[in-house]
A and B are shown apart, each in its own frame.
Chain A
Amino acid sequence: MSEDALQYDAIVIGAGHNGLVTAGYLARAGKKVVVLEASSAIGGAARTGEISPDYQVSTGAHLISCLPKKVERDLKLAKHGLVWATRDVATVALDQGGKHVIIPAGGKKDIATLTAHATRDGDAWRRFDAQMKKFISVIGPFLEGPVPEMGPDLPGRVPVTTALRLEKLGPRDLRAFLRFMPSSIARILDATFEGDLVKGALALDATLGHHSGPKTPGTAFSFLYKRALETLGQGTGYPAGGAGALSDALAASAESTGARIRLDSPVAQIIAGAGKVSGVRLEDGTVFEAPLVMSSADPKTTCLDLLGARHFEAPMAKHIGRIRSQGSAAKINLALEGLPTFENFTDREYGGRLLIAPDMATVERSFIAAKRNELTLDPVMEMVIPSYHDPRLAPMGHHVLSIVVPNVPFDVEGGWDARRDEFVKRVIDTIALYAPDVSNKIIAGEILTPPEIEEKLGLKGGHWHQGDMSFDQLLAFRPAPGMANYATPVEGLYLCGAGTHPGGGLTGLPGKYAADTALLKEKIS
């Protein structure tokens, strides 16, 4: 391949949404940027695809709840085509008897859905919600920028707001906070609520996308962390055109400021010498040169495969090698010839985020099954009918149903080829318990098993956060202890994907903070 100029100010590896955010910020700062994407489409896990002609759906991620206004404004996403189909998606915990619970229970009507199951859960919710808000105020400041690095002077670098708020908690809440942090979500919910449904739904929330069950210690923190991230966003919703529309707008924004996006360009090697990065080599041998390389590929791939362990002190390479990033979710997308009928559903519910998690035991069982490389008998799941707010996704009157099934093993006993149909049938049968006519309405469908998510969406290990988001892999330990500030030991090489702080999800924050860090570093030196 002959290209006249393969020299850039900055190379971004991966055109997932974080890579595109990084490219956008760098280009805006005047850098000549090229984004090298392995696959033939942009977006990574945030893309829209076709189930069958005329039925479009978010192939991977389907809900956006923590995209900060700042990113949207800085990168002028509205101008570049981002239109929100909705930003007000409520969570609906489905009940087979039609007594669905709405979370977060805002008004009286929502509270009533809780008390319908257990009279005291209304008050319990208010107390729980208030306490979560206090706790979030403590950890929230950590998410608003790069995390302070561990070190002897750490206490001096903890965000002032966190220190103040921790003090403001008072002894009772402080004690509760300290007990909360390492707990399992099951313990917390059992001590708070009576209704099985609300507990099941919140337990699913706490563990969705993580390789853990409600009884796993630390899942209370995961729950809190996720809610804290959401406070940085602007409500849960999705853009018109699906998650891919976000990526398209990010790409358009980056390109408008001069960035170039090159598809089908898998990076095989990051070139470094004398402690400095100088460029990358593609699988076909093409070399791109730049003094700054930002990788949104997951940290293990970037550091150990593309760069090589020799560029790290041995303990650091070992830490990176130990990052847990076992994928454990599957995606099923269905094309339907009409809305499935759920009992007692109104607009709010049809447009909502539908959870099937009847109780905590079911969620825990699905995790245990996954741990044993088995398929659970009664899967739990998160569903969205995006065509409800965004009718252009399907022909008139028709719909698409987007389903995330957590706790699905990467290597299933017996192999995926043999068990794919059985798995899909179990999921659809489970949905049919709530919407009996769903099976009759299916026109077409696609399934992405964890290995297929790895292959088709470019997520190593099929892990949607590029590394488990458990306490030991978050904040100052993300992606690995001593590497929390995006920089690597190789000068000019930064990580900028979901594997870095503040983690996975469609937030754009890792991409933004990484770009901020790299630009700041350049300014200082």
Chain B
Amino acid sequence: MTEINLDDKDETEIVQLSPLDGMGTAPDPAWFEQPANELPFERYVLTTPLHLVAATESRTNQWTEWNGYTLANVYTTVEQEYDALRTRAALSDISPLVKYRISGKDAAIYLDRLLTQSVAGVAVNQVARAVLCAGDGCIVTEGLLFRLGETDFRLVVRSPHLDWMLDSAEDFEVGVEDVSGTIAAMSLCGPLAEAVLEAVGIEQANSLEKAQAVWVELGGMPVYVSRTGMMGGSEFELWADPDDAPIVWRRLLDAGRTFGLLPVGMAVRNVARLENGIALEGIDYQSGFSAPDLSTACSPFDLGQGDRVSLERSLFNGQKALTAIAKRGSRHAMKGIEVDASPGVRIEAIFVGDRKVGRVTSHAWSPRLQHHIALALIETDALGASSGFTVEVNEEGEGCKRLAVKLEKRPFLEFS
């Protein structure tokens, strides 16, 4: 082993090579601000308010994209991050979520018409799952609805649909505003997530019920904390001002160090949400508006989320079509499958005998379960058979082979 003596390095040379040197620990954020004369939507690569602090944590320079925003895919290694998320605590930037503020006299009845479930029973500081359907019953997008006040709501969804929201607002006294840029969001999850929050002084966390939210103060900064998420297990989401968010992030990381908290990228979050059995708009199925054909779009019934639709109530977008679908049944259904294959394979189609009956929409190796788990969109008429399913597995260098699979209950992982 050769010893490297850092002190021997020619410091002046480094100064010349690094433009960042001498400017403090991080580059000037102003570099990343949009120039004033830039047209809206002119930029295709966007950075979240947490970009700089997240970049500081990256050891791999592996990035991915969501709604046009650059996000860390892997900070350190998949194994380490997975381990943190499932056994300790994980912190992630989820700012690319689209946030709408809906307020005004008719806000609640507007949302009643927009969403598949009534918001009447949602109390202030409570969070409800929100599903938006198009006229044909296909999901437009989905997410969470926060009731901030009697007539003030925040809808957080996966993809932007302002035009749809505004079209739906005709005849209602309601303001609909895209406030995505004014709110940064972080996810904190894992068995020790609650302890981390307590360590930064957010004691309210432990009394927070599932699907509840609370305003807290962190060093004078207002932060809205909700017990929400889709990784399964103990999890929180924190909503903060973009200027405050990097500081909140730092504080959580610093306080979490002793608990083994790690920043976790999108790659591991994808594994974790799959373990939790959650299908995502834009990944497992397409928004009803962007799907090239009906075979890639899903109604809530197709996802097994019939309980998120209350048909017997006042009119809402998609009601007529969903009533018909409920009566005649879905064309296809999203199912979980487990595949006994090694990591690194590609799984695409699902068969019964020689007939292709569906598509695998996402799959991942679950370190916890030690096999592949996948979501597959399967034609309903093939689902009568409870066995006999096979998938086509492509392995680098090994070619293609068929493996028998079983339909599994979702979520794949049990959380206490």
Contacts and interface: CB of A to CB of B under 8 A. Distances in A.
A370 to B, nearest CB: 29
B315 A275 contact: yes
B316 A313 contact: yes
A5 interface: no
Given A312-B315, A316-B135, A489 B320 contact: yes
Contacts of A321: 170
A516 B320 CA distance: 23
Contact of B172 (A310, A313, A316, A489): A310
Nearest to A273: B314
Nearest to A310: B171
Contact of B319 (A304, A308, A310, A313): A313
A314 B167 contact: yes
B315 A311 contact: yes
Interface in A309-323: 309-318, 321
Contacts of A520: none
B124 interface: no
Contacts of A312: 315
A242 B317 CA distance: 47
Interface string B146-174: 00000000000000000010011011100
A435 B27 CA distance: 87
Contacts of A317: 167, 170-171
A274 B315 CA distance: 8
Contacts of A310: 109, 113, 170-172
Contacts of B318: 313
Contacts, number: 44
Which 3 A/B pairs are nearest by Cβ-Cβ distance? A315-B135, A309-B171, A314-B168
Nearest to A274: B314
B134 interface: yes
Nearest to A490: B315
Nearest to B110: A310
30 contacts: A274-B314, A275-B315, A308-B171, A309-B170, A310-B109, A310-B113, A310-B171, A310-B172, A311-B315, A312-B315, A313-B113, A313-B135, A313-B316, A313-B317, A313-B320, A314-B114, A314-B164, A314-B167, A314-B168, A314-B170, A314-B317, A315-B135, A315-B317, A317-B167, A317-B171, A318-B167, A321-B170, A482-B135, A489-B315, A489-B320
Nearest to A309: B171
Interface string B303-342: 0000000000011111110000000000000000000000
A312 B167 CA distance: 12
Interface residues of B, number: 18
Contacts of A274: 314
Contacts of A308: 171
A310, A316, A321, A489: residue with the most chain B Cβ atoms closer than 10 Å: A310
Contacts of B317: 313-315
Contacts of A313: 113, 135, 315-320
A503 to B, nearest CB: 24
Given A313-B316, A314-B317, 15 more contacts: A274-B314, A275-B314, A308-B171, A310-B172, A312-B315, A313-B113, A313-B135, A314-B164, A314-B167, A315-B167, A315-B317, A316-B135, A318-B167, A321-B170, A489-B315
Interface string A482-498: 10000001000000000
Contacts of A275: 314-315
Nearest to B165: A314
Interface string B272-316: 000000000000000000000000000000000000000000111
Contacts of A304: 170-171
A274 B168 CA distance: 19
A315 B164 CA distance: 9
A479 B241 CA distance: 48
Contacts of B171: 304, 308-310, 317
B288 to A, nearest CB: 10
Interface string B124-151: 0000000000110000000000000000
Nearest to B320: A313
Q: Which of A274, A312, A315, A318 has the most CB of B within 10 A?
A: A315
Contacts of B134: 315
B379 to A, nearest CB: 16
B309 to A, nearest CB: 14
Question: Which of A312, A313, A316, A482 has most chain B Cβ within 10 Å?
Answer: A313
Interface string B170-198: 11100000000000000000000000000
Contacts of B109: 310
A315 B134 CA distance: 8
A321 B171 CA distance: 12
Contacts of B172: 310
B224 to A, nearest CB: 29
A278 to B, nearest CB: 15
B113 A314 contact: yes
Contacts of B316: 313
Interface in A134-182: none
A483 to B, nearest CB: 11
Interface in A264-311: 274-275, 304, 308-311
Interface string A310-349: 1111111110010000000000000000000000000000
Interface in A459-512: 482, 489
Nearest to B170: A309
A275 B113 CA distance: 12
Interface in A166-214: none
B107 to A, nearest CB: 13
Contacts of A318: 167
Nearest to A321: B170
Contacts of B114: 314
Contacts of A315: 134-135, 167, 317
B167 to A, nearest CB: 5
Nearest to A317: B170
Nearest to B164: A314
B216 to A, nearest CB: 36
Interface in A389-418: none
A275 to B, nearest CB: 6
A318 B166 CA distance: 11
Interface string B359-375: 00000000000000000
Nearest to A151: B324
Contacts of B315: 275, 311-313, 489
A304 B317 CA distance: 16
A308 B109 CA distance: 14
A240 B195 CA distance: 92
A225 B397 CA distance: 65
Nearest to B134: A315
A405 B316 CA distance: 44
Contacts of A311: 315
Nearest to B106: A310
A487 to B, nearest CB: 12
Contacts of B167: 314-315, 317-318
A321 B169 CA distance: 13
A119 B368 CA distance: 90
Contacts of B135: 313-316, 482
Nearest to B166: A314
Nearest to A307: B171
A76 B124 CA distance: 63
A274 B313 CA distance: 8
A489 B319 CA distance: 11
A275 B312 CA distance: 11
Nearest to A313: B317
Contacts of B164: 314
B293 to A, nearest CB: 15
A311 B171 CA distance: 9
